[in-house]
Structure 1
Amino acid sequence: MTDKQATARNVSAGIEFHGRKMDFGFEFEDLPRYWYGNDAFKSTLMNALSCLFLEGERLFIDAVRDNEHLVKDERLQKQVKNFIKQEAIHGHEHHMLSEYLDTLGYPATKVEAQERAVRLFLKKHVPAKDRLAITCAVEHFTAMLAHQMLTNNELTDEMDPRIREMWKWHAIEETEHKGVCFDVYEAAGGGYWKRVFHMATITMTFVMRLSTVQAYFLWKDKQLFKWSTWKSAFRFYWKTPALIPTIWKEYKDYYRRDFHPWEHDNRELLEGWEAEHDNYKAV
Protein backbone atom coordinates (compact mmCIF):
# COMPACT_ATOMS: atom_id res chain seq x y z
CA MET A 1 0.00 0.00 0.00
CA THR A 2 1.35 3.42 -0.96
CA ASP A 3 1.51 6.37 1.43
CA LYS A 4 -1.29 8.00 -0.59
CA GLN A 5 -3.52 4.96 -0.16
CA ALA A 6 -2.77 4.72 3.55
CA THR A 7 -3.57 8.41 4.09
CA ALA A 8 -6.90 8.15 2.25
CA ARG A 9 -7.90 5.06 4.22
CA ASN A 10 -7.02 6.71 7.50
CA VAL A 11 -9.16 9.71 6.58
CA SER A 12 -12.04 7.41 5.66
CA ALA A 13 -11.77 5.49 8.93
CA GLY A 14 -11.84 8.72 10.93
CA ILE A 15 -14.96 10.24 9.39
CA GLU A 16 -17.82 10.37 11.88
CA PHE A 17 -21.33 11.07 10.63
CA HIS A 18 -24.95 10.33 11.44
CA GLY A 19 -28.39 10.43 9.89
CA ARG A 20 -30.20 13.77 9.94
CA LYS A 21 -33.90 14.45 9.87
CA MET A 22 -34.06 17.77 8.05
CA ASP A 23 -36.83 20.36 8.20
CA PHE A 24 -36.68 22.48 5.07
CA GLY A 25 -39.84 24.35 5.95
CA PHE A 26 -41.59 24.26 2.58
CA GLU A 27 -44.01 22.17 0.59
CA PHE A 28 -42.94 20.82 -2.77
CA GLU A 29 -46.20 22.15 -4.20
CA ASP A 30 -44.79 25.66 -3.78
CA LEU A 31 -42.09 25.03 -6.38
CA PRO A 32 -42.40 26.50 -9.86
CA ARG A 33 -42.42 23.98 -12.70
CA TYR A 34 -38.98 25.05 -13.87
CA TRP A 35 -37.39 25.68 -10.50
CA TYR A 36 -33.85 25.70 -11.86
CA GLY A 37 -33.26 29.08 -13.51
CA ASN A 38 -36.64 28.88 -15.27
CA ASP A 39 -34.84 26.43 -17.58
CA ALA A 40 -36.61 23.32 -18.88
CA PHE A 41 -33.44 21.34 -19.54
CA LYS A 42 -31.78 21.91 -16.17
CA SER A 43 -35.00 21.45 -14.18
CA THR A 44 -35.97 18.18 -15.89
CA LEU A 45 -32.40 16.89 -15.58
CA MET A 46 -32.43 17.27 -11.79
CA ASN A 47 -36.01 15.98 -11.60
CA ALA A 48 -35.05 12.85 -13.54
CA LEU A 49 -32.01 12.35 -11.33
CA SER A 50 -34.17 12.63 -8.24
CA CYS A 51 -36.58 9.98 -9.58
CA LEU A 52 -33.71 7.49 -9.81
CA PHE A 53 -32.50 8.08 -6.27
CA LEU A 54 -35.16 6.29 -4.21
CA GLU A 55 -34.58 2.80 -5.58
CA GLY A 56 -30.93 3.51 -6.27
CA GLU A 57 -30.34 4.15 -2.61
CA ARG A 58 -32.31 1.05 -1.65
CA LEU A 59 -30.02 -0.87 -4.02
CA PHE A 60 -27.03 0.55 -2.13
CA ILE A 61 -28.52 -0.44 1.21
CA ASP A 62 -29.22 -3.99 -0.01
CA ALA A 63 -25.69 -4.37 -1.36
CA VAL A 64 -24.02 -3.14 1.83
CA ARG A 65 -26.24 -5.25 4.07
CA ASP A 66 -25.53 -8.37 2.01
CA ASN A 67 -21.78 -7.86 2.53
CA GLU A 68 -21.87 -6.43 6.05
CA HIS A 69 -21.08 -9.77 7.69
CA LEU A 70 -17.61 -9.63 6.11
CA VAL A 71 -16.73 -6.38 7.88
CA LYS A 72 -14.67 -6.95 11.02
CA ASP A 73 -13.56 -3.39 11.77
CA GLU A 74 -15.80 -1.81 14.42
CA ARG A 75 -15.43 1.73 13.10
CA LEU A 76 -16.51 0.61 9.64
CA GLN A 77 -19.43 -1.35 11.13
CA LYS A 78 -20.63 1.88 12.79
CA GLN A 79 -20.22 3.79 9.53
CA VAL A 80 -22.28 1.16 7.71
CA LYS A 81 -25.17 1.62 10.12
CA ASN A 82 -25.13 5.40 9.69
CA PHE A 83 -24.74 5.05 5.91
CA ILE A 84 -27.96 3.03 5.86
CA LYS A 85 -29.75 5.68 7.93
CA GLN A 86 -28.66 8.47 5.64
CA GLU A 87 -29.60 6.67 2.44
CA ALA A 88 -33.02 5.70 3.78
CA ILE A 89 -33.80 9.34 4.65
CA HIS A 90 -32.58 10.52 1.24
CA GLY A 91 -34.95 8.13 -0.49
CA HIS A 92 -37.92 9.46 1.49
CA GLU A 93 -37.20 13.09 0.53
CA HIS A 94 -36.80 12.28 -3.15
CA HIS A 95 -40.01 10.26 -3.16
CA MET A 96 -41.85 13.33 -1.87
CA LEU A 97 -40.49 15.26 -4.85
CA SER A 98 -41.64 12.44 -7.17
CA GLU A 99 -45.16 12.72 -5.81
CA TYR A 100 -45.10 16.44 -6.58
CA LEU A 101 -43.80 15.77 -10.10
CA ASP A 102 -46.74 13.41 -10.66
CA THR A 103 -49.09 16.34 -10.10
CA LEU A 104 -47.31 18.20 -12.92
CA GLY A 105 -47.94 15.36 -15.35
CA TYR A 106 -44.54 13.68 -15.12
CA PRO A 107 -44.68 9.89 -14.51
CA ALA A 108 -42.19 10.15 -11.66
CA THR A 109 -43.55 7.43 -9.39
CA LYS A 110 -43.87 5.14 -12.43
CA VAL A 111 -40.16 5.67 -13.01
CA GLU A 112 -39.58 4.70 -9.39
CA ALA A 113 -41.63 1.53 -9.92
CA GLN A 114 -39.53 0.63 -12.96
CA GLU A 115 -36.37 1.17 -10.96
CA ARG A 116 -37.78 -1.00 -8.18
CA ALA A 117 -38.24 -3.87 -10.64
CA VAL A 118 -34.62 -3.49 -11.75
CA ARG A 119 -33.40 -3.44 -8.15
CA LEU A 120 -35.29 -6.61 -7.26
CA PHE A 121 -34.01 -8.32 -10.41
CA LEU A 122 -30.43 -7.44 -9.52
CA LYS A 123 -30.89 -8.58 -5.92
CA LYS A 124 -32.18 -11.95 -7.11
CA HIS A 125 -29.77 -12.62 -9.98
CA VAL A 126 -26.55 -10.67 -9.37
CA PRO A 127 -24.01 -11.79 -6.71
CA ALA A 128 -23.73 -9.60 -3.64
CA LYS A 129 -20.13 -8.57 -4.33
CA ASP A 130 -21.00 -7.45 -7.85
CA ARG A 131 -23.92 -5.40 -6.54
CA LEU A 132 -21.50 -3.81 -4.10
CA ALA A 133 -19.12 -2.98 -6.97
CA ILE A 134 -22.04 -1.37 -8.79
CA THR A 135 -22.81 0.60 -5.64
CA CYS A 136 -19.20 1.80 -5.38
CA ALA A 137 -19.39 3.05 -8.97
CA VAL A 138 -22.64 4.98 -8.49
CA GLU A 139 -21.44 6.34 -5.14
CA HIS A 140 -18.43 7.77 -6.95
CA PHE A 141 -20.77 9.54 -9.37
CA THR A 142 -22.79 10.96 -6.48
CA ALA A 143 -19.63 12.04 -4.66
CA MET A 144 -18.40 13.92 -7.73
CA LEU A 145 -21.76 15.64 -8.20
CA ALA A 146 -21.93 16.38 -4.47
CA HIS A 147 -18.57 18.15 -4.53
CA GLN A 148 -19.74 20.31 -7.43
CA MET A 149 -22.98 21.09 -5.58
CA LEU A 150 -21.00 22.33 -2.60
CA THR A 151 -18.24 24.26 -4.38
CA ASN A 152 -19.41 25.32 -7.84
CA ASN A 153 -21.74 28.28 -7.49
CA GLU A 154 -22.42 28.23 -11.22
CA LEU A 155 -24.15 24.89 -10.66
CA THR A 156 -26.44 25.96 -7.83
CA ASP A 157 -27.00 29.73 -7.97
CA GLU A 158 -30.03 29.53 -10.27
CA MET A 159 -31.83 26.86 -8.26
CA ASP A 160 -34.88 27.76 -6.22
CA PRO A 161 -33.26 28.51 -2.81
CA ARG A 162 -35.49 26.02 -0.99
CA ILE A 163 -34.73 23.03 -3.15
CA ARG A 164 -31.09 24.09 -3.43
CA GLU A 165 -30.87 23.65 0.32
CA MET A 166 -32.26 20.13 -0.02
CA TRP A 167 -29.72 19.20 -2.69
CA LYS A 168 -26.85 20.64 -0.65
CA TRP A 169 -27.92 18.62 2.42
CA HIS A 170 -27.93 15.51 0.24
CA ALA A 171 -24.51 16.49 -1.13
CA ILE A 172 -23.04 16.87 2.36
CA GLU A 173 -24.19 13.40 3.39
CA GLU A 174 -23.00 11.84 0.13
CA THR A 175 -19.61 13.39 0.85
CA GLU A 176 -19.56 12.14 4.43
CA HIS A 177 -20.15 8.51 3.49
CA LYS A 178 -18.39 8.45 0.11
CA GLY A 179 -15.77 5.98 1.34
CA VAL A 180 -18.06 3.53 3.15
CA CYS A 181 -19.13 1.27 0.28
CA PHE A 182 -15.60 1.27 -1.10
CA ASP A 183 -14.20 0.21 2.27
CA VAL A 184 -16.84 -2.51 2.62
CA TYR A 185 -16.01 -3.71 -0.90
CA GLU A 186 -12.34 -4.06 0.03
CA ALA A 187 -13.22 -5.75 3.33
CA ALA A 188 -15.35 -8.23 1.36
CA GLY A 189 -12.37 -9.10 -0.83
CA GLY A 190 -13.51 -7.21 -3.91
CA GLY A 191 -10.87 -6.87 -6.60
CA TYR A 192 -9.72 -4.24 -9.06
CA TRP A 193 -11.07 -5.70 -12.32
CA LYS A 194 -14.58 -6.23 -10.98
CA ARG A 195 -14.60 -2.67 -9.65
CA VAL A 196 -13.54 -0.99 -12.89
CA PHE A 197 -15.68 -3.28 -15.07
CA HIS A 198 -18.79 -2.21 -13.21
CA MET A 199 -17.77 1.46 -13.36
CA ALA A 200 -17.48 1.21 -17.15
CA THR A 201 -20.86 -0.49 -17.52
CA ILE A 202 -22.59 1.77 -15.00
CA THR A 203 -21.26 4.85 -16.80
CA MET A 204 -23.10 3.76 -19.92
CA THR A 205 -26.28 2.43 -18.32
CA PHE A 206 -26.69 5.24 -15.80
CA VAL A 207 -26.24 7.98 -18.40
CA MET A 208 -28.62 6.22 -20.78
CA ARG A 209 -31.28 5.74 -18.11
CA LEU A 210 -31.02 9.31 -16.85
CA SER A 211 -31.17 10.67 -20.40
CA THR A 212 -34.17 8.51 -21.27
CA VAL A 213 -36.18 9.67 -18.28
CA GLN A 214 -35.26 13.31 -18.85
CA ALA A 215 -36.09 13.08 -22.57
CA TYR A 216 -39.55 11.79 -21.69
CA PHE A 217 -40.09 14.63 -19.24
CA LEU A 218 -39.05 17.14 -21.89
CA TRP A 219 -41.29 15.48 -24.45
CA LYS A 220 -44.25 15.73 -22.07
CA ASP A 221 -43.54 19.48 -21.83
CA LYS A 222 -43.11 19.85 -25.60
CA GLN A 223 -39.56 21.05 -25.00
CA LEU A 224 -37.57 18.09 -26.33
CA PHE A 225 -37.09 19.33 -29.89
CA LYS A 226 -36.63 23.01 -29.14
CA TRP A 227 -33.30 24.60 -30.02
CA SER A 228 -33.24 26.40 -26.66
CA THR A 229 -33.32 23.05 -24.86
CA TRP A 230 -30.33 21.66 -26.74
CA LYS A 231 -28.44 24.93 -26.39
CA SER A 232 -29.01 24.82 -22.64
CA ALA A 233 -27.78 21.20 -22.53
CA PHE A 234 -24.56 22.09 -24.35
CA ARG A 235 -23.90 25.04 -22.07
CA PHE A 236 -24.63 23.01 -18.92
CA TYR A 237 -22.30 20.15 -19.77
CA TRP A 238 -19.49 22.03 -21.54
CA LYS A 239 -19.61 25.78 -20.78
CA THR A 240 -21.38 26.80 -17.57
CA PRO A 241 -21.08 25.06 -15.12
CA ALA A 242 -19.11 22.80 -17.55
CA LEU A 243 -19.98 19.66 -15.61
CA ILE A 244 -18.19 17.13 -17.84
CA PRO A 245 -14.73 18.76 -18.04
CA THR A 246 -14.97 19.71 -14.37
CA ILE A 247 -15.42 16.14 -13.11
CA TRP A 248 -13.43 14.34 -15.82
CA LYS A 249 -10.15 13.94 -13.93
CA GLU A 250 -11.89 12.75 -10.77
CA TYR A 251 -13.89 10.27 -12.83
CA LYS A 252 -10.74 8.85 -14.47
CA ASP A 253 -9.04 8.46 -11.09
CA TYR A 254 -11.49 5.67 -10.25
CA TYR A 255 -9.75 3.43 -12.79
CA ARG A 256 -6.41 3.57 -10.99
CA ARG A 257 -5.44 0.51 -8.97
CA ASP A 258 -4.52 2.63 -5.96
CA PHE A 259 -7.70 4.73 -5.99
CA HIS A 260 -9.66 5.53 -2.84
CA PRO A 261 -12.57 8.05 -2.62
CA TRP A 262 -10.97 9.98 0.24
CA GLU A 263 -7.79 10.76 -1.69
CA HIS A 264 -9.95 13.75 -2.68
CA ASP A 265 -10.01 15.14 0.84
CA ASN A 266 -12.78 17.72 1.17
CA ARG A 267 -13.53 17.40 4.87
CA GLU A 268 -13.52 21.18 5.27
CA LEU A 269 -16.86 21.27 3.42
CA LEU A 270 -18.42 19.05 6.07
CA GLU A 271 -17.23 21.18 8.95
CA GLY A 272 -18.37 24.42 7.34
CA TRP A 273 -21.85 23.15 6.49
CA GLU A 274 -22.56 21.68 9.92
CA ALA A 275 -21.45 24.87 11.64
CA GLU A 276 -24.09 26.78 9.67
CA HIS A 277 -27.00 24.39 10.19
CA ASP A 278 -28.84 23.67 13.40
CA ASN A 279 -32.21 22.83 11.86
CA TYR A 280 -31.79 19.09 11.92
CA LYS A 281 -32.17 16.25 14.37
CA ALA A 282 -29.67 13.44 14.51
CA VAL A 283 -31.30 10.00 14.12
Structure 2
Amino acid sequence: MSSPSRTPADLHIEKRDLKFGREDPPARWWHSGDPGRTAFFNALSSTFPVGERFFMTAVRYYRDDTAQPLRGQIDDFLYQESMHTREHVVFNRQAQDAGYDIAPLEDRARRTIGWVKRRSPLQQLAATCALEHYTATLAHDALANPEHLGGAAPEARRMWQWHAIEEVEHKAVAFDTFLHATRHMTPMRRWLKRSLVMCVTTVRFHYVIFRNTADLLRQDGLNDFATWRSLLRYLYGRPGTMRMLLRGAFTYMRPGFHPWEIDDRALIVTSLAQLEAGQAA
Protein backbone atom coordinates (compact mmCIF):
# COMPACT_ATOMS: atom_id res chain seq x y z
CA MET A 1 0.00 0.00 0.00
CA SER A 2 3.04 2.28 -0.23
CA SER A 3 3.12 5.19 -2.67
CA PRO A 4 6.72 5.69 -3.74
CA SER A 5 7.43 8.65 -5.97
CA ARG A 6 7.15 7.86 -9.65
CA THR A 7 7.98 11.31 -10.89
CA PRO A 8 10.11 10.99 -14.05
CA ALA A 9 13.78 11.62 -13.34
CA ASP A 10 14.05 13.86 -16.40
CA LEU A 11 10.94 15.94 -15.63
CA HIS A 12 11.40 19.62 -16.46
CA ILE A 13 9.10 22.17 -14.83
CA GLU A 14 9.59 25.34 -16.83
CA LYS A 15 9.36 28.86 -15.47
CA ARG A 16 7.24 30.92 -17.85
CA ASP A 17 6.27 34.55 -17.43
CA LEU A 18 3.29 34.95 -19.76
CA LYS A 19 0.57 37.59 -19.65
CA PHE A 20 -2.92 37.33 -21.08
CA GLY A 21 -5.84 39.57 -21.91
CA ARG A 22 -4.23 42.93 -21.21
CA GLU A 23 -5.08 44.32 -24.61
CA ASP A 24 -8.38 42.62 -25.41
CA PRO A 25 -10.49 41.68 -22.37
CA PRO A 26 -13.10 38.98 -22.97
CA ALA A 27 -16.79 39.63 -23.45
CA ARG A 28 -19.20 39.16 -20.53
CA TRP A 29 -20.18 35.67 -21.73
CA TRP A 30 -16.74 34.82 -23.03
CA HIS A 31 -17.24 31.04 -23.20
CA SER A 32 -19.28 30.18 -26.30
CA GLY A 33 -21.64 33.06 -25.58
CA ASP A 34 -23.03 30.75 -22.89
CA PRO A 35 -23.84 32.22 -19.45
CA GLY A 36 -23.62 28.83 -17.69
CA ARG A 37 -20.20 27.83 -18.99
CA THR A 38 -18.89 31.34 -18.43
CA ALA A 39 -20.23 31.35 -14.87
CA PHE A 40 -18.60 27.99 -14.09
CA PHE A 41 -15.14 29.02 -15.27
CA ASN A 42 -15.44 32.45 -13.65
CA ALA A 43 -16.46 30.71 -10.42
CA LEU A 44 -13.43 28.47 -10.70
CA SER A 45 -11.11 31.39 -11.42
CA SER A 46 -12.46 33.32 -8.43
CA THR A 47 -11.01 30.65 -6.10
CA PHE A 48 -7.55 30.51 -7.64
CA PRO A 49 -5.71 33.52 -6.18
CA VAL A 50 -6.44 32.62 -2.55
CA GLY A 51 -6.22 28.91 -3.29
CA GLU A 52 -2.87 29.02 -5.02
CA ARG A 53 -1.36 31.23 -2.33
CA PHE A 54 -2.48 28.58 0.15
CA PHE A 55 -0.88 25.82 -1.96
CA MET A 56 2.41 27.73 -1.99
CA THR A 57 2.37 28.18 1.78
CA ALA A 58 1.50 24.52 2.44
CA VAL A 59 4.29 23.17 0.22
CA ARG A 60 6.88 25.80 1.16
CA TYR A 61 6.56 24.75 4.81
CA TYR A 62 8.38 21.49 3.99
CA ARG A 63 10.82 22.81 1.38
CA ASP A 64 13.94 23.15 3.53
CA ASP A 65 13.59 19.59 4.79
CA THR A 66 13.67 18.09 1.29
CA ALA A 67 16.59 17.16 -0.94
CA GLN A 68 17.13 17.50 -4.67
CA PRO A 69 15.47 17.03 -7.07
CA LEU A 70 12.30 17.63 -5.03
CA ARG A 71 13.57 20.89 -3.55
CA GLY A 72 14.17 22.32 -7.01
CA GLN A 73 10.75 21.10 -8.15
CA ILE A 74 9.18 22.87 -5.17
CA ASP A 75 10.89 26.11 -6.23
CA ASP A 76 9.58 25.69 -9.78
CA PHE A 77 6.12 24.89 -8.40
CA LEU A 78 6.15 28.07 -6.32
CA TYR A 79 7.12 30.14 -9.34
CA GLN A 80 4.40 28.67 -11.56
CA GLU A 81 1.73 29.07 -8.91
CA SER A 82 2.73 32.70 -8.36
CA MET A 83 2.26 33.35 -12.09
CA HIS A 84 -1.13 31.61 -12.03
CA THR A 85 -2.18 33.80 -9.12
CA ARG A 86 -1.19 36.96 -10.98
CA GLU A 87 -3.04 36.02 -14.16
CA HIS A 88 -6.22 34.96 -12.39
CA VAL A 89 -6.23 38.21 -10.43
CA VAL A 90 -6.28 39.95 -13.83
CA PHE A 91 -8.91 37.54 -15.19
CA ASN A 92 -11.13 38.10 -12.15
CA ARG A 93 -10.75 41.85 -12.49
CA GLN A 94 -11.92 41.54 -16.10
CA ALA A 95 -15.02 39.68 -14.91
CA GLN A 96 -15.67 42.60 -12.57
CA ASP A 97 -15.18 45.02 -15.44
CA ALA A 98 -17.78 43.02 -17.38
CA GLY A 99 -20.27 43.78 -14.61
CA TYR A 100 -19.97 40.85 -12.18
CA ASP A 101 -19.60 41.23 -8.43
CA ILE A 102 -16.76 38.79 -7.71
CA ALA A 103 -16.19 39.83 -4.08
CA PRO A 104 -18.72 37.39 -2.52
CA LEU A 105 -17.14 34.51 -4.46
CA GLU A 106 -13.65 35.43 -3.31
CA ASP A 107 -14.90 35.78 0.27
CA ARG A 108 -16.41 32.29 0.13
CA ALA A 109 -13.13 30.82 -1.10
CA ARG A 110 -11.24 32.79 1.56
CA ARG A 111 -13.46 31.46 4.34
CA THR A 112 -12.99 27.90 3.12
CA ILE A 113 -9.21 28.27 2.97
CA GLY A 114 -9.30 29.92 6.40
CA TRP A 115 -11.05 26.82 7.75
CA VAL A 116 -8.32 24.59 6.30
CA LYS A 117 -5.53 26.82 7.65
CA ARG A 118 -6.70 26.10 11.18
CA ARG A 119 -5.57 22.50 10.65
CA SER A 120 -2.04 21.14 11.07
CA PRO A 121 0.61 21.78 8.39
CA LEU A 122 0.31 18.14 7.32
CA GLN A 123 -3.46 18.41 6.96
CA GLN A 124 -2.97 21.56 4.90
CA LEU A 125 -0.49 19.74 2.69
CA ALA A 126 -2.90 16.82 2.26
CA ALA A 127 -5.65 19.26 1.22
CA THR A 128 -3.21 20.84 -1.23
CA CYS A 129 -2.50 17.40 -2.72
CA ALA A 130 -6.20 16.75 -3.18
CA LEU A 131 -6.86 20.10 -4.84
CA GLU A 132 -3.74 19.85 -6.98
CA HIS A 133 -5.02 16.48 -8.19
CA TYR A 134 -8.31 18.15 -9.08
CA THR A 135 -6.58 20.88 -11.06
CA ALA A 136 -4.32 18.33 -12.79
CA THR A 137 -7.33 16.20 -13.71
CA LEU A 138 -9.19 19.20 -15.11
CA ALA A 139 -6.02 20.35 -16.87
CA HIS A 140 -5.39 17.00 -18.56
CA ASP A 141 -8.93 16.82 -19.87
CA ALA A 142 -8.95 20.44 -21.00
CA LEU A 143 -5.81 19.81 -23.06
CA ALA A 144 -6.81 16.37 -24.34
CA ASN A 145 -10.36 17.28 -25.36
CA PRO A 146 -10.86 20.58 -27.24
CA GLU A 147 -14.58 20.50 -26.39
CA HIS A 148 -13.87 21.74 -22.86
CA LEU A 149 -12.74 25.15 -24.07
CA GLY A 150 -14.21 25.04 -27.56
CA GLY A 151 -16.00 28.29 -28.33
CA ALA A 152 -14.13 30.26 -25.66
CA ALA A 153 -12.73 33.68 -26.54
CA PRO A 154 -9.23 33.13 -28.00
CA GLU A 155 -7.25 35.00 -25.34
CA ALA A 156 -9.22 33.45 -22.48
CA ARG A 157 -8.73 30.02 -24.05
CA ARG A 158 -4.97 30.60 -24.26
CA MET A 159 -4.82 31.61 -20.60
CA TRP A 160 -6.66 28.48 -19.48
CA GLN A 161 -4.55 26.34 -21.81
CA TRP A 162 -1.31 27.77 -20.38
CA HIS A 163 -2.56 27.20 -16.84
CA ALA A 164 -3.50 23.62 -17.71
CA ILE A 165 -0.06 22.90 -19.21
CA GLU A 166 1.68 23.97 -16.03
CA GLU A 167 -0.74 22.11 -13.77
CA VAL A 168 0.16 18.91 -15.60
CA GLU A 169 3.87 19.72 -15.40
CA HIS A 170 3.89 20.13 -11.62
CA LYS A 171 1.07 17.72 -10.79
CA ALA A 172 3.16 15.58 -8.42
CA VAL A 173 5.14 18.22 -6.52
CA ALA A 174 2.70 18.54 -3.62
CA PHE A 175 2.12 14.78 -3.61
CA ASP A 176 5.85 13.98 -3.50
CA THR A 177 6.22 16.55 -0.71
CA PHE A 178 3.45 14.72 1.16
CA LEU A 179 5.27 11.40 0.64
CA HIS A 180 8.39 12.98 2.11
CA ALA A 181 6.51 14.52 5.04
CA THR A 182 4.83 11.19 5.86
CA ARG A 183 7.86 8.98 5.23
CA HIS A 184 7.77 7.67 8.81
CA MET A 185 4.09 6.77 8.64
CA THR A 186 2.86 3.30 7.85
CA PRO A 187 1.52 2.98 4.29
CA MET A 188 -1.97 2.33 5.67
CA ARG A 189 -1.99 5.46 7.82
CA ARG A 190 -0.67 7.57 4.93
CA TRP A 191 -3.34 6.21 2.60
CA LEU A 192 -6.13 6.80 5.13
CA LYS A 193 -5.03 10.39 5.72
CA ARG A 194 -4.90 11.41 2.08
CA SER A 195 -8.14 9.55 1.26
CA LEU A 196 -10.13 11.07 4.11
CA VAL A 197 -8.86 14.53 3.24
CA MET A 198 -9.84 13.95 -0.39
CA CYS A 199 -13.40 13.06 0.68
CA VAL A 200 -13.75 16.24 2.72
CA THR A 201 -12.13 18.33 -0.01
CA THR A 202 -14.48 16.93 -2.66
CA VAL A 203 -17.55 18.00 -0.70
CA ARG A 204 -16.24 21.49 0.06
CA PHE A 205 -14.96 22.00 -3.51
CA HIS A 206 -18.36 21.21 -5.01
CA TYR A 207 -20.11 23.46 -2.50
CA VAL A 208 -17.88 26.46 -3.21
CA ILE A 209 -17.83 26.10 -6.99
CA PHE A 210 -21.56 25.57 -7.40
CA ARG A 211 -22.49 28.31 -4.93
CA ASN A 212 -20.16 30.66 -6.81
CA THR A 213 -21.65 29.62 -10.14
CA ALA A 214 -25.18 30.19 -8.82
CA ASP A 215 -24.17 33.66 -7.57
CA LEU A 216 -22.95 34.65 -11.01
CA LEU A 217 -26.00 33.24 -12.79
CA ARG A 218 -28.21 35.10 -10.33
CA GLN A 219 -26.47 38.33 -11.32
CA ASP A 220 -27.40 37.56 -14.94
CA GLY A 221 -30.98 36.76 -13.94
CA LEU A 222 -30.41 33.22 -15.25
CA ASN A 223 -30.16 31.08 -12.12
CA ASP A 224 -32.96 28.89 -13.42
CA PHE A 225 -33.73 25.32 -14.43
CA ALA A 226 -33.05 25.78 -18.14
CA THR A 227 -29.59 27.30 -17.59
CA TRP A 228 -28.60 24.67 -15.04
CA ARG A 229 -29.87 21.82 -17.20
CA SER A 230 -27.65 22.99 -20.05
CA LEU A 231 -24.67 23.55 -17.75
CA LEU A 232 -24.99 20.20 -15.97
CA ARG A 233 -25.19 18.46 -19.35
CA TYR A 234 -21.89 20.14 -20.23
CA LEU A 235 -20.28 19.36 -16.84
CA TYR A 236 -21.47 15.77 -16.36
CA GLY A 237 -22.39 14.68 -19.86
CA ARG A 238 -20.14 15.72 -22.73
CA PRO A 239 -17.37 16.78 -22.45
CA GLY A 240 -18.00 16.10 -18.78
CA THR A 241 -15.62 18.40 -16.90
CA MET A 242 -16.98 17.53 -13.45
CA ARG A 243 -17.64 13.90 -14.33
CA MET A 244 -13.94 13.49 -15.13
CA LEU A 245 -13.05 15.28 -11.91
CA LEU A 246 -15.13 12.89 -9.81
CA ARG A 247 -13.55 9.93 -11.55
CA GLY A 248 -10.16 11.42 -10.76
CA ALA A 249 -11.08 11.65 -7.07
CA PHE A 250 -11.77 7.92 -6.93
CA THR A 251 -8.51 7.24 -8.77
CA TYR A 252 -6.64 9.33 -6.20
CA MET A 253 -8.02 7.23 -3.34
CA ARG A 254 -6.73 3.99 -4.80
CA PRO A 255 -3.90 2.46 -2.70
CA GLY A 256 -0.53 2.97 -4.37
CA PHE A 257 -1.71 5.93 -6.48
CA HIS A 258 0.83 8.42 -7.81
CA PRO A 259 0.09 11.36 -10.16
CA TRP A 260 2.75 10.29 -12.66
CA GLU A 261 1.39 6.77 -13.10
CA ILE A 262 0.00 8.41 -16.25
CA ASP A 263 2.85 10.07 -18.09
CA ASP A 264 1.15 12.77 -20.15
CA ARG A 265 4.21 14.83 -21.02
CA ALA A 266 3.50 14.24 -24.71
CA LEU A 267 0.25 16.13 -24.18
CA ILE A 268 2.25 19.03 -22.75
CA VAL A 269 4.47 19.12 -25.85
CA THR A 270 1.49 19.16 -28.21
CA SER A 271 -0.34 21.80 -26.19
CA LEU A 272 2.74 24.02 -25.95
CA ALA A 273 3.06 23.93 -29.73
CA GLN A 274 -0.58 24.99 -30.05
CA LEU A 275 -0.11 27.76 -27.51
CA GLU A 276 3.00 29.07 -29.28
CA ALA A 277 1.23 28.91 -32.64
CA GLY A 278 -1.54 31.03 -31.15
CA GLN A 279 1.01 33.54 -29.90
CA ALA A 280 2.58 33.75 -33.34
CA ALA A 281 -0.83 34.33 -34.91
Q: TM-score, normalised by structure 1?
A: 0.88
Q: Output the CA distance in 2 between the equivalents of 1:14 and 1:43.
A: 37
Q: Output the CA distance in 2 between the equivalents of 1:277 and 1:209.
A: 30
- Following superposition, the deviation at residue 257 of structure 1 comes to 1.5
Deviations 1:46-83, CA, capped at 9 Å, x for gaps: 00100000000011001001122331x31110000010
1:87 and 2:72 aligned: no
Aligned to 1:239: 237
Unaligned runs of 5+ in 2: none
- Following superposition, the deviation at residue 116 of structure 1 comes to 3.6
Q: Output the CA distance in 2 between the equivalents of 1:212 and 1:273.
A: 31
Which of the numbers 165, 178, 183 marks the counterpart of 2:158? 165
Q: Output the CA distance in 1 between the equivalents of 2:251 and 2:115.
A: 30
Aligned to 1:270: 268
Which of the numbers 6, 9, 13 marks the counterpart of 1:9? 6
Q: Output the CA distance in 2 between the equivalents of 1:60 and 1:184.
A: 12
Q: Output the CA distance in 2 between the equivalents of 1:96 and 1:48.
A: 14
Aligned to 1:193: 192
1:41 and 2:28 aligned: no
Identity between Structure 1 and Structure 2 (%): 34
Alignment size in residue pairs: 271
Unaligned runs of 5+ in 1: none
Q: Output the CA distance in 2 between the equivalents of 1:232 and 1:95.
A: 28
Q: Output the CA distance in 2 between the equivalents of 1:10 and 1:121.
A: 31
Q: Output the CA distance in 1 between the equivalents of 2:80 and 2:21.
A: 19
Structure 1 residues 141-160: aligned runs within 5 Å: 141-160=134-153
- Following superposition, the deviation at residue 24 of structure 1 comes to 3.5
Q: Is the 8 A contact 1:98 1:109 kept in 2?
A: no
Would the alpha carbon gap of residues 10 and 36 (structure 1) be closer, same or farther in structure 2, given more than 3 Å must change? closer
- Structure 1 window deviating more from structure 2 (257-266 vs 235-244): it is 235-244
In structure 2, the residue corresponding to 1:271 is in which secondary structure?
A: helix
Q: Output the CA distance in 2 between the equivalents of 1:249 and 1:230.
A: 21
What is the CA RMSD across the aligned residues, in angstroms?
A: 2.2
Q: Output the CA distance in 2 between the equivalents of 1:259 and 1:233.
A: 31
Aligned to 2:211: 212
Which of the numbers 35, 58, 64 marks the counterpart of 1:63? 58
- Following superposition, the deviation at residue 121 of structure 1 comes to 5.1
- Structure 1 window deviating more from structure 2 (54-63 vs 262-271): it is 262-271
Aligned to 1:254: 252
Aligned to 1:139: 132
Which of the numbers 18, 23, 31 marks the counterpart of 1:22? 18
Q: TM-score, normalised by structure 2?
A: 0.89
Q: Is the 8 A contact 1:99 1:109 kept in 2?
A: no
Would the alpha carbon gap of residues 164 and 70 (structure 1) be closer, same or farther in structure 2, given more than 3 Å must change? same
Q: Output the CA distance in 2 between the equivalents of 1:264 and 1:197.
A: 23
